[in-house]
Structure 1
Amino acid sequence: MLAFLQRIGKSLMFPIAMLPAAALLVRLGAEDMLDIPFVAQAGNGILANLALIFAIGVAMGFAKDGSGGAALSGAVGYLVLTGGVESFGDDLSMGVFGGIIAGIIAGLLYNRFYQTQLPDWLSFFGGKRFVPIITAVVMVVLSGVFGFIWPPIQAAINGLGEWMLGAGALGVGAYGFFNRLLIPIGLHHVINTVVWFDFGSYMPPGADEVVRGEISRFLAGDPSAGSFLAGFFPIMMFGLPAACLAMYAAAKKHRRAAVGGMLFSIAVTSFLTGVTEPIEFSFMFLSPLLYVVHALLTALSMMVSLWLDIRHGFGFSAGFIDYLLNFGIADKPIMLFIQGLVFAVIYFVIFYALIVKLDLKTPGREDEDEVLAEENQQVGQPSSGKGRDYDTKAYHYLTALGGPENIKTLDYCATRLRLQMNDMEAVDEKALKRQGANGVMKLNKTNMHVIVGTTVDFLAEAMRKRMDSNDMQAPGGEAVQEDTKTDGSAGLPALDKADIVSPAKGKLMNLSEVPDEVFAQKMMGEGFAIDPADGLFVSPVDGEIINVFPTKHAIGIKADSGHEILVHVGLDTVKLQGEGFEVFVTEGQRVKMGDKLLHADLDYLKANVPSTISPIVFTNLNEGEKVSVTEAKDVNVNERNILY
């Protein structure tokens, strides 16, 4: 049942995603803006047909391949259902519920019948063409059923809506609280759909049809609409960005540079667009208490907006763009902005105090070994997937999920992948987070969500493309070697130390001399180190580049022998975010001994990091295998016989 409800929630994102277009047209064409009536009516054309749009969108969402045949079936199903039901009484209207019901049934029928084969003389009507036909037949029957059972259901829904709209602070506060509390399992879209598109009714002056739902009524000028929307603006524009600031301030000083960029980007996204899940998933699993506080503060914001008699609305979410767009038709929007500033202070103080007092492991406060935490995008775990190379990113996500064969179904909504897994134990949660996932939610033994962000649709399509073609070629073009591991259990031959050359000019030293416990205690593996005399670093082996860190300070190489080597330039250089480095190689590139890897500005490094001593680590040696330098001495780049 949970999985089924989540499919509904995911499918609702198709029609909801077009709301910004409708809101933009309605507002730009309004008298208080550009005063272009046909533009406003074009937007109202969308709002007036929301139920039909929901039927189409939900049917596509339920169809296994998102087919247009399912979309057509959803439209046919809605028209048949509502036409039949309304014949039982002019006052009967299924609204968006009719669209959702028709979409669900059409999608399920599509999955069941889209490959139906009919006799030759009827073959034209077989396959996908058969789905609208069977949908119409089923909906005729259901329209008769709903003609009898819908009146009491409609009365109950109207009663619940009237209660919530008339319950004052209790109603609006309860909605705000459960809206946030349902986000972890993705069911907030369901409650939003009811409030946004069904609760309340309003007959605009001169209109022929009643407008239903908080968003449509607000955009149509209903003076009673907007109370269930206004309270979100202070949270999404100010509260959660302030929570990001609190997490940054509470982060360990040497980690702030590493987490600052991420926190800033998701805070700006929340402020401008109202997309908040990347922020919320950064702390909801670390501290459920902190997330409950956030839900309570959301409820409080909704109640305060009501007490101050503030009305405001949005077409998609409560970000600054919607705030400005609907400024002219809102009540007390300046007061709402001030409320947001107050809530920013409240969020910062409460979040900072709880994080520090309870020692919550929010971004930048993790307990893991410092360098290991920053470098755990180890050799064999490339991080380039964090960029816009979605094919590469898809490869690493599929690998972390246990391979395409471990994925039973793959869907997505606004910010998350929705997955059904065959073996949840095969999922590498840490690897997913290294690839940029904001959070991983394992709902039960088979269902999970991976919070990606607003680019999730590009990633999901890239993953589907690889899954459909059964393509698990590594980004560099070589097939994945399933027996290659990084834990020393790969059964590799002993490392031939004569095949290792010095990757830089400078002072050669044992790894135990590195002034960092993680490297010195060989937590990441055996190896050696060099205190470089100049900034040039070359490949110590023949092999393939399998990892170029986004911060340019480290490069992973897979030698032809199968051994994996991490060339890490300097200590704590990850915080430089690439400044002072020039990289000459790309992931998947073949290199020979002595080929240039990167150049580091040593003067810049010495001024900004604790040390330029550079560890060279073998991350997958066989158990018990050791590496030591022949002697501590000055070596030239490409010099042999440095290890024993």
Structure 2
Amino acid sequence: MFYWLIKKFNLKTPGRDEEENEKAAVPVTEKAMEVLKALGNAENIKAIDACITRLRLEVYDTKKVDKKRLKDLGSPGVMEVGATGIQVIFGTAAEGLKDEIKAIMENPQEVTVVESAAPAEAAVERTGGETVMTSPMKGKILDLTEVPDALFAEKMIGDGFAVEPSEGYVVSPVTGEIAHIFETNHALAIITESGLEVLIHIGIDTVKMEGRGFTRLSEIGQKVEKGTPLMKFDLELVKKEAKSSITEVVVTNMDKVKDMKIIASGDVTPDDEVLIVR
């Protein structure tokens, strides 16, 4: 399912064929069309972007945003930020929705509605057993409720743990395969051998850094084990430019989880087991 959630359409503005004077149709899903309507349509949007899990918008009139409709469309939360800011949580589908909505706004006459792709099962065996996660970095273990971001603190997209890092080096906390690395390198997703979808999100509001200070040490599709290097980042730069350096490790498909328990406290290293998931 994670592959379906993170799938992005190729939605760059089509070029014009000078000889035939035609534009290629731009495929978008009905969900993207409905989300745009719930946001008050294109004329209500000043700007739109996305972090790994949420749409970030500046709108002309927040009263035109239909929060109930957005929740009906699958958003677990809609937040107002300041006088004109809106954040709509859609999990890892947010990035793809942002691209589709931009395409609709830029090419309203060329869009064609397509059916949403059916969720695909992850290409791993679901053992239904126990998964023990280690820390992805050196630092201090925290409960998600201590994270200064409601998205994680209120467990809107899943449950897990957080680490306040003492160095800027991230390794895999599980054995599995890298499903996605986000363009700004501030977050990545791994599917474990048991089918868990694990999101590692470095810092809070680090998407605004646009990749500055982050160095990718792994690739999409790579098989990883506990301790495999994933990412380096400039910790001091993150502390300076982002809201927080606290890093979250979240299981996003909680329907596959019976229970989980944090088994570590205080300072941890990548050698330390910190979470049991059953």
Asked whether 1:368 is paired with 2:72, we answer no
For 1:433, what is the secondary structure of its paired residue? helix
Asked whether 1:433 is paired with 2:97, we answer yes
Q: Specify which of 121, 125, 138 is matched with residue 483 of structure 1.
A: 121
Provide the residue aligned with 1:611 in structure 2: 244
Provide the residue aligned with 1:638 in structure 2: 271
Give, in whole Å, the separation in 2 of the partners of 1:501 and 1:560: 15
TM-aligned CA deviation for residue 602 of structure 1: 0.8
TM-aligned CA deviation for residue 633 of structure 1: 1.3
Which consecutive residues of structure 2, in runs of 5 or more, have no partner in the other structure? 1-13, 27-32, 45-58, 71-76, 106-110
Give, in whole Å, the separation in 2 of the partners of 1:492 and 1:370: 39
TM-aligned CA deviation for residue 484 of structure 1: 4.3
Give, in whole Å, the separation in 1 of the partners of 2:62 and 2:225: 51
Residues 440 and 643 (structure 1), Cα distance of their counterparts in 2 relative to 1, 3 Å cut: same
Provide the residue aligned with 1:529 in structure 2: 162
Give, in whole Å, the separation in 2 of the partners of 1:547 and 1:522: 21
Provide the residue aligned with 2:60 in structure 1: 356
The count of aligned residue pairs is 220
Q: 1:423-482 CA deviation, whole Å, 9 max, x = no partner?
A: xxxxxxx675245552459xxxxxx7169xxxxxxxxxxxxxxxxxxxx9xxxxxxx983
Residues 584 and 435 (structure 1), Cα distance of their counterparts in 2 relative to 1, 3 Å cut: farther
Provide the residue aligned with 2:18 in structure 1: 18
TM-aligned CA deviation for residue 374 of structure 1: 8.1
Provide the residue aligned with 1:298 in structure 2: none
Give the letter aligned to residue 526 of structure 1. Answer: D
Q: 1:327-377 CA deviation, whole Å, 9 max, x = no partner?
A: xxxxxxxxxxxxxxxxxxxxxxxxxxxx5356455xxxx983589958856
Q: Report which structure shows greater RCO (CA 8 Å, sep ≥6).
A: 2
Give, in whole Å, the separation in 2 of the partners of 1:549 and 1:436: 17
Alignment of 1:329-340 (within 5 A): none
Using the size of structure 2 for normalisation, the TM-score is 0.64
| Higher strand content, 1 or 2 | 2
Asked whether 1:496 is paired with 2:130, we answer yes
Give the letter aligned to residue 120 of structure 2. Answer: E
Give, in whole Å, the separation in 2 of the partners of 1:545 and 1:370: 33
Provide the residue aligned with 2:6 in structure 1: none
| Higher helix content, 1 or 2 | 1
Matched-pair contact (CA < 8 Å) for 2:179–2:220 = yes
Alignment of 1:135-214 (within 5 A): none
Give, in whole Å, the separation in 2 of the partners of 1:358 and 1:617: 30
Using the size of structure 1 for normalisation, the TM-score is 0.30
Give the letter aligned to residue 18 of structure 1. Answer: E
Residues 370 and 597 (structure 1), Cα distance of their counterparts in 2 relative to 1, 3 Å cut: farther
For 2:97, what is the secondary structure of its paired residue? helix
Provide the residue aligned with 2:140 in structure 1: 507
Give, in whole Å, the separation in 2 of the partners of 1:607 and 1:431: 25
RMSD between aligned residues = 4.3
Give the letter aligned to residue 584 of structure 1. Answer: L
Alignment of 1:614-625 (within 5 A): 614-622=247-255, 625=258
TM-aligned CA deviation for residue 17 of structure 1: 3.3
Which consecutive residues of structure 1, in runs of 5 or more, have no partner in the other structure? 1-12, 20-56, 62-184, 187-280, 292-354, 382-429, 442-447, 452-471, 473-479
Give, in whole Å, the separation in 1 of the partners of 2:217 and 2:42: 47
Q: Specify which of 184, 188, 196 is matched with residue 555 of structure 1.
A: 188
TM-aligned CA deviation for residue 623 of structure 1: 5.9
Give the letter aligned to residue 550 of structure 1. Answer: E
Matched-pair contact (CA < 8 Å) for 1:369–1:518 = no
Give, in whole Å, the separation in 2 of the partners of 1:620 and 1:510: 19
TM-aligned CA deviation for residue 533 of structure 1: 0.8
Matched-pair contact (CA < 8 Å) for 1:544–1:559 = yes
